């Protein structure tokens, strides 16, 4: 601490004796502080994102036993499928992956696991579009929205008419 204070006082003494360096030193200090702030901001954002991803992964891992405890038979995990769109008359192959394909009482479902506060809500347009895509691509009886935060399973069906 004494060394830092000593260096600081020597620096101010030097700046006082050489007035042209004062504004340069202040500008340099300001640039260093702004760069440090930007660096810490990026590190913090990355930390928050990684923490959220770890939490989501942990909750999603619990989905399989949760579904089984609710009476669902797990048919497939990370089930992949393909379907084809026509874009301006040209075929476009789409690959899709859903968290689970499950069965219960003779009915087959695509199960999508969600975490967080917004994703599990059916009012979220992105969630609805994703569930509709699963319904069509996997040709299932319905889609399950598995909310691991709220420990709830919602069966979503899109009317055909």
What is the fold, at CATH topology level, of the domain defined by 62-156? Answer: Lambda Exonuclease; Chain A (3.90.320)
Global pTM exceeds 0.75:
no
- For residue 23, the model assigns a pLDDT of 74
Calpha distance 71→80 (Å, rounded): 23
- For residue 3, the model assigns a pLDDT of 46
From the list 16, 12, 44, the residue with the least C-alpha distance to 29 is 12
C-alpha radius of gyration, the chain, whole number: 28
Q: pLDDT per position in the chain (161 positions), as tens?
A: 444 555 566 666 766 676 666 677 778 888 888 888 888 888 888 888 887 777 777 777 789 999 999 999 999 999 999 999 999 999 999 999 999 999 999 999 999 998 877 767 788 888 889 999 999 999 999 999 999 888 889 999 888 76
From the list 74, 76, 53, the residue with the least C-alpha distance to 65 is 74
Residue 76 has a CB neighbour count (10 Å cut-off) of 15
Calpha distance 28→150 (Å, rounded): 51
- For residue 7, the model assigns a pLDDT of 57
Residue 39 backbone dihedrals phi, psi, to 5 degrees: -65, -50
Structural domain spans, the chain: 2-58, 62-156
- For residue 32, the model assigns a pLDDT of 85
Beta pairing, strands 152-156 & 142-147: antiparallel
């Amino acid at each position: 601490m004494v060394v830092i204070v000593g260096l600081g006082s020597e620096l101010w003494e030097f700046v006082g004796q050489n007035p042209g360096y004062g504004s340069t030193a202040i500008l340099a200090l300001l640039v260093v502080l702004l760069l440090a702030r930007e660096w810490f901001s990026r590190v913090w954002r990355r930390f928050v994102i990684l923490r959220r991803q770890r939490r989501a992964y942990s909750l999603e891992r619990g989905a399989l036993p949760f579904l089984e405890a609710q009476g669902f038979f797990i048919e497939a995990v990370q089930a992949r499928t393909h379907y084809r769109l026509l874009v301006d008359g040209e075929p476009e192959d789409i690959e899709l992956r859903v968290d689970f394909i499950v069965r219960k009482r003779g009915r087959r479902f695509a199960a999508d696991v969600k975490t967080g506060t917004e994703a599990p809500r059916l009012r979220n347009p992105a969630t609805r579009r994703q569930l509709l895509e699963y319904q069509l691509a996997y040709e299932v009886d319905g889609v399950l929205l598995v909310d691991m935060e709220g420990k709830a399973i919602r069966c979503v069906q899109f009317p055909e008419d």
